[in-house]
């Protein structure tokens, strides 16, 4: 059947479908073959003995998608409105201007190399000050201030360490996603932003602990403990036994229920107290950060006893 279809397509339409190229460099399928294949969809349907209406609808769908992609490319070029050879120099000039204004206005050094070549100046303190002064940052970046403000509230809620209502979080993320596409749909969304806006509510719904507790900071801060557990409290018979013993030791030392049972008095407020006391309000961590419109939309709630 394959040879019959290839022969009839070659004789009827003059196209070579799925035939090897001379020299073994791939096959004959390319854009020209695909275009002629779908343009002559009625003849192709007779040869393939396929539903002609289905093939016709697929042709119209692919045509619409390709035309939309072409339109988006044209829109991107119109947004940039600069020749390709000048794009790099203008980008570097805008970057230097933004860095200079951020340092003069907010006193933060953004994306500048550290002395000795050990990374750059971006850290948690820079990020916190960047989002706290979102109005000034929006003016410097010439960015939508409402979008930046909503991103600030979202990150504040996720990093608060309190459970967040997945339904309210999904509604808020969808609002940010729609606003981004409306203002900057011509630019590709960063992967990190996509994960937070699209998959963040699913993570908040599926996992028992808040999102902030599932970061890698806890693993990094317990690096010395992991080394000690592996050296002194793990079997060395095999890698599987070693990893199992280290994992079980980490579970013992980090289990929330076991930690709450410990009666250790410290000189400062114990972080576990906020998970053992009764809830008092519906919005605790982000009260001072959220405006009237965003105060309760994320559904931040205190954990139950």
Average pLDDT of 212-238?
85
Integer angstrom CA distances of residue 87 from 73, 91, 99, 186: 16, 6, 18, 17
Whether 156 and 286 have beta carbons less than 8 Å apart is answered as: yes
> pLDDT tens digits, residue range 13-54?
888 887 887 776 777 787 788 888 888 888 888 888 888 888
Q: What is the pLDDT of residue 75?
A: 57
> pLDDT tens digits, residue range 91-114?
888 899 999 999 999 999 988 888
**How many Cβ atoms from other residues are within 10 Å of residue 10's Cβ?**
14
Q: Cα separation of 216 and 140, whole Å?
A: 32
> pLDDT tens digits, residue range 53-96?
888 888 777 777 776 555 555 555 555 555 555 667 778 888 99
Residue boundaries of the structural domains of the chain = 2-80, 90-111+120-143, 221-263
Q: Cα separation of 235 and 245, whole Å?
A: 7
Which tokens hold the place of 264? 């250790």
Q: What is the pLDDT of residue 188?
A: 84
Q: Give the lowest-confidence range in 108-122, 128-142, 148-162, 222-236.
A: 108-122
Percent of the chain topping pLDDT 90: 28
Which single residue is written with the structure tokens 């030392």?
Answer: 253
Whether 40 and 15 have beta carbons less than 8 Å apart is answered as: no
> pLDDT tens digits, residue range 173-193?
999 999 999 988 888 888 989
> pLDDT tens digits, residue range 282-305?
344 444 444 434 544 555 555 443
Average pLDDT, the chain: 78
For every residue of 121-183, which 3-state class applies, written as one string? CCCHHHHHHHHHCHHHHHHHHCCCHHHHHHHHHHHHHHCCCCCECHHHHHHHHHHHHHHHHHH
Q: What is the pLDDT of residue 241?
A: 93
Percent of the chain topping pLDDT 70: 77
Which single residue is written with the structure tokens 């996603």?
Answer: 177
Average pLDDT of 109-128?
85
Q: What is the pLDDT of residue 244?
A: 94
Q: What is the pLDDT of residue 81?
A: 53
The better pLDDT of the pair 203, 259 is held by 203
Integer angstrom CA distances of residue 89 from 14, 98, 250: 48, 14, 51
């Amino acid at each position: 059947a394959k040879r019959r279809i290839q022969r009839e397509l070659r004789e009827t339409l003059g196209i070579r479908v799925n035939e090897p190229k001379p020299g073994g460099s791939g096959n004959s399928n390319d854009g020209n073959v695909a275009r002629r294949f779908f343009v002559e969809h009625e003849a192709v349907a007779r040869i393939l003995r396929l539903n002609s209406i289905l093939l016709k609808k697929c042709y119209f769908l692919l045509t619409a998608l390709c035309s939309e992609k072409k339109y988006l490319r044209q829109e991107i070029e119109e947004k940039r409105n600069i020749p390709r050879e000048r794009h790099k120099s203008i980008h570097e000039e805008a970057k230097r201007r933004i860095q200079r204004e951020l340092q003069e206005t907010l006193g933060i050094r953004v994306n500048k190399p550290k002395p000795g070549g050990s990374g750059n100046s971006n850290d948690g303190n820079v990020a916190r000050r960047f989002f706290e002064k979102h109005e000034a940052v929006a003016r410097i970046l010439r960015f939508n201030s409402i979008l930046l403000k909503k991103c600030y509230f979202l990150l504040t809620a996720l990093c608060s360490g309190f459970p967040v209502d997945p339904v309210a979080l999904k509604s808020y993320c969808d609002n940010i996603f729609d606003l981004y596409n409306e203002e900057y749909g011509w630019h590709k969304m960063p992967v990190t932003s996509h994960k937070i806006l699209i998959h963040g509510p699913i993570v908040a719904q599926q996992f028992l602990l808040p999102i902030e507790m599932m970061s890698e900071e806890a693993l990094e801060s317990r690096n010395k403990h992991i080394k000690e557990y592996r050296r002194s409290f793990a079997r060395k018979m095999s890698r599987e036994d070693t990893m199992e013993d280290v994992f079980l030791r980490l579970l013992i030392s980090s289990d929330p229920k076991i930690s709450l049972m410990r009666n250790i008095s410290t000189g400062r407020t114990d972080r576990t107290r906020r998970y053992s006391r009764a809830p008092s309000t519906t919005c605790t961590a982000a009260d001072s950060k959220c405006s009237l419109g965003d105060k309760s939309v994320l559904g931040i709630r205190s954990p139950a006893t």
